[in-house]
Amino acid sequence: MTILLSIEFKIERFKSMIPTPVLIGFYFIFPVIILWLCQKFSLVNKIGSVILAYFFGILLGNSGLLPNSAAELQDTLSGATVALALPLLLFSMDVRSWLHSAGKAILSMLGATILAVMVAGVGSWLIRNGVDNAWQFGGMAIGLYTGGTPNLAAIKTALDVDSTQFIMMHTYDAVNGIIYLMFVMTVGQRVFNRVLPKFKPSGLIQTANGQNENIHSYEGIFKLKIMQGLLAAFGVSILILGLSFGLSQLIPDEYSTAAIMLLITSLGIAFSFNQRMRTIPMTFQFGMYIILVFSLIVGSMANLEQLVNINWPLMFFVNFVVFGTMLLHAGFCKVFKIDTDTFLITSVSAVCSPPFVPVVAKALNNKEVILSGLTTGIIGYAIGNYLGIAFAYVFRALLS
């Protein structure tokens, strides 16, 4: 017993000795190591840099070595990294070309939204005898799986959901979200290509020499000319973040997160119309590096201890909504001849929210669908609260 107490004391002492700059440094340096390993070893590259970032993040987050003050830092960094990465990912997009294929993405998102409402309603009915206030979970699920976590938090407040139940919902969603993302990023494209049309590239990405670039390659990124261009692009990205945050202060707090995402995306798209900005080499790769930082941070925020005492009806409900909606959504896309990549990216933008769109686009090896995913995800942000709250009360009336 004395030995165990001594070990615990030493761990706590070690944790208290980790300064914040060291933790920040780890978050930004370790993804470089992951990228180097992917370039060096083909087996590691097959696993994928994003999956590795999540894996090592989860290991770190549940190792007991993070300082007690890490939560606030993680929350700040995760938001900042996504906000800085999105413009860099959008600068190389040719929006004029994208508009020709936007209709399929909007139709796919409409199908995902309608089906999420239906499946959440059925799921609420199925768990009505095993979970108190099942109608509230139905409403939260609709907001969460059409928009994202900000909608979940807003609906929790609007419906006066018990904090313990809210935390369980959030935890089970995180676990299922990881399983869902791993499926999409590993075998999802191959599986759904068997039943849906394959994506047909339209050449939306422009580079300095007019050629398509390998989105997985970081070769030459440290050349002086390329670094100068990336520093300029990063400066513009910081400017966009500052402008978006400033303008969001004019909007009620309830909608500030959605407003910031909308403003960042809109300004990133606006700058992509500038030929010089659009043809800066490797802005997408630089943005994806920052997304790896985000993935490492999010992975380290996962707390596996909360899964010891599982509420099985609620776990079933979350699984039922996520994967039930996905299967029905695939059938919807089959009927309307929507391609696999558009189906997957709109599904991810609904289930996991826009910040995860670039992660999945990289796994699909398809930069062209990023704009579709971000656009439909922001639509989900906008309508998620309205749908979630409205249908929660519809479910309450029906279940009573």
* The pLDDT value given to residue 95: 67
Q: Where are the domains of the chain?
A: 70-400
Write the DSSP symbol of residue 251: S
> Quick one: CA torsion of 234, 240, 246, 250, rounded to 10 degrees?
-160
Alpha-carbon dihedral sign for residues 130, 131, 132, 133: negative
More confidently predicted of 19 and 29: 29
What is the C-alpha separation between 400 and 396, in angstroms, rounded? 6
pTM more than 0.85:
no
What is the number of other CB atoms lying within 10 angstroms of the CB of residue 395? 24
Distant-in-sequence, close-in-space partners of 130: CB < 8 Å, separation ≥ 6: 312, 313
pLDDT tens sequence across 191-240: 999 999 999 876 555 444 444 455 557 777 878 888 999 999 999 999 99
Mean pLDDT of the chain: 82
pLDDT band at residue 256 under the 50/70/90 scheme:
confident
Q: Which two tokens stand for residue 318?
A: 């979350």
C-alpha closest to that of 114 among 380, 396, 395: 380
**Sequence-ordered list of residues with C-beta below 8 angstroms from that of 46, at least 6 positions apart, any chain:** none
Contacts of 380 by beta carbon, 8 Å cutoff, 6+ apart: 109, 113, 146, 147, 148, 151, 349, 350, 353
Beta-ladder partners of 61: none
For position 208, what pLDDT does the model report? 41
Span 14-22, average pLDDT: 67
Beta-bridge partner residues of 166: none
CB count in 10 Å sphere of residue 279: 16
pLDDT at 339: 94
User: Tell me, what's the pLDDT at 2?
Assistant: 54
State residue 307's pLDDT score.
63
